Amino acid sequence: MVFLKAIWRFIMGVKDVLVLCFLLLFFGGLYAALSFSSGERPVKAHQGALLVDLNGFVVEQPQQADPVSALLGSEAPVRQYRLRDIVVALEAARTDPNVKAIVLNLNGFMGGGQVAITRIGKALDALRAAKKPVLAYATAYEDDGYQLAAHAGEIWLNPLGGVALTGPGGSQLYYKGLLDKLGVTAHIFRVGTYKSAVEPLMRSDQSPEAKAAAQALADHLWQNWKADVGRARPKAKIEGYSANPLSVIEAAKGDLPNAALTAGLVDKLGDDRAFADRVAGIAGEGKDGDGLSFAAIDLHDYVRAKRPANDGQIGVLTVAGDIVDGEAGPGTAAGDSITDQLDTAMKKQNLKALVVRVDSPGGSVLASERIRSAILAAKASGIPVVTSMGNVAASGGYWVSTASDRILAEPSTITGSIGVFGVLPSFEGLLAKLGVSADGVKTTPLSGEPNITGGIGSDFSRITQLGIENIYSRFLGLVAKARKMSPEKVDGIAQGRVWDGGTARQIGLIDGYGGLEEAIAEAAKLAKLDPKTARPYYIEPTVDPFTQFIEDWMQKRSARQAGSRAGDLLARQAASQEALLRRALHDASLLTRGGSVQLSCLECATYVPAAPKAGEGTERSGPLMHMLALFIGHN
């Protein structure tokens, strides 16, 4: 009888949860239909400060929210802000009389890469030139946050915070000793002296070649960072503060905020209340119930009101995130998905040119080639193609770029990594330690291969290595044809080495400097259109109304939880290192998981902060899970 009651309670609980889900879907769909059936909702104009509250990462293409994870999770995922949206808002604010100031709240800012931050900085500089006040605030500043804040007219720092300028670089995990102890053999197939992505599985330290290449890249990126900050804030003593931080802090007797103030890195010390009072003096007092003491204009609403119509003649195809086989949502460069998007746009839109915006460290060879082939098919219709590189366009990201007529990048773009690798683990050593062995029969040299239990055979290993070398030769051929070089010359600058954009231009891997806007203008010129009147048409997947509703809801949750990601300097640096550790473990699992041959620049993650995948951060049980527990446990 007790068992039957438990079954009945479970059935009733499932029924109630299904009803709740149906209601959420119904009201979400109703809300979305009302909100989006007649276009974007109008935003009521009011005066105040445009609040750029960056509580997360700036990315090229935000990942789409997973409605199920959002509903089941109690913690909002780390928010992602589209670079293009921020630029649109800042450029509109420059001539908008309702915008009295721009406020950068960088308390929860987690990074965006030098290229993206430089572009935002350019928009902020234009605002300051138009006499619009730009103010920045944070409890603690790190490299990305400070580079952004340097473009503000006033930089505020919490009296209990600090500024840490660490520069690019850091440690990487190496797993060779662990694999040896476990008895796991990593069979590595690669081409490229500098293809250091697989070194963590074959060495206990960094090879001299990889270290030299990494040091050169880090030095160039650091020089570019200092140059950008120096132009924006010439009075700041960046060199002395970053080159010998210990002596600076000792001279300040451990008072980090005053050390930053003395060095000219910040203008004011004050908590968030003092900062808000300062903004209120410029933009006006906030209304009761807004939660802010100054009149603020929400960034999300402002972008929605100012975003131009997507009806241009220059197609812009975004290849962002890891390049993977099959289908995936925004923020991941899935071969099938991107191909379908481009094919559909070519059929439905009268495009005169194509810009491929690449912000990817690469990935699958098959998916990279599928995307490249789709771009070539569009090019065969008679339209010019220009590649615009973002923070990173390396390995598979560069493979995709070879389909274009011209390649533009920024000095701090990370590119190159022209090399190929594949990894297969085998466990004969581990099994032997457990007293397990493997044996069997063969009809051909490849029977049962790859044999991960008894050891991968020499014939299979040699065939795989030859295949990797063949793909590398193909890679060299693609680059040689696209860049009008000999394969031998390409091989001399390839070998898996990663280059900064400035060096890449010198060695001929790119044609010139420029961001997305310059690439659109270049594509217009090639199509014999007036660059001043040419407009982009962004080729991106459409978001269904319900998912859009969930994303709007999650953004509000993220805003409410913003304070949880703010912290002092030690807390922020610890969080940064934790993120790097998660990334390292993710890369290690990727290397040992097997699968497709890779054109991937895993070391690029050291220099560009990677936003967590959609759904990460929502693992804690949320409202529906709590409801389910209540229903099941209800008597």
Catalytic residues: 195, 395
Classify the C-alpha dihedral 268-273-275-277 as positive or negative.
negative
The strand ranges marked E within 427-575 are: 498-500, 512-513, 536-539
Q: Where are the alpha helices (DSSP H) in 381-435?
A: 396-401, 428-433
- 53, exposed or middle or buried, with CB in 10 Å at 0-12, 13-18, 19+? buried
The answer to whether residues 335 and 371 touch, using CB atoms and an 8 Å cutoff, is yes
Classify the C-alpha dihedral 480-484-488-491 as positive or negative.
negative
Q: How far apart are CA 274 and CA 154, in angstroms?
A: 13
Q: Identify the helix (H) or strand (E) that includes residue 623.
A: helix 623-633
Please give the span between the terminal C-alpha atoms of the chain, in angstroms, as a whole number.
14
- 254, exposed or middle or buried, with CB in 10 Å at 0-12, 13-18, 19+? exposed
Pairing of strands 498-500, 414-416: antiparallel
- Residues listed for the chain: 635
- Name the DSSP class of 621: B
Of the candidates 592, 427, 391, 468, which has an alpha carbon nearest to the alpha carbon of residue 195?
468
What is the DSSP code string of 199-231?
HHHH-SS--HHHHHHHHHHHHHHHHHHHHHHHH
Q: What is the 3-state secondary structure (H, E, C) of 303-354?
A: HHHHCCCCCCCEEEEEEECCEECCCCCCCCEEHHHHHHHHHHHHHHCCCCEE
The answer to whether residues 60 and 119 touch, using CB atoms and an 8 Å cutoff, is no
Q: CA–CA distance from 201 to each of 183, 237, 596 (Å)?
A: 13, 41, 17
Q: How far apart are CA 577 and CA 335, in angstroms?
A: 32
Please give the structure tokens belonging to residue 184. Answer: 């796991």
Q: 509: helix, coil or strand? A: coil
Q: How far apart are CA 378 and CA 403, in angstroms?
A: 10
The answer to whether residues 566 and 158 touch, using CB atoms and an 8 Å cutoff, is no
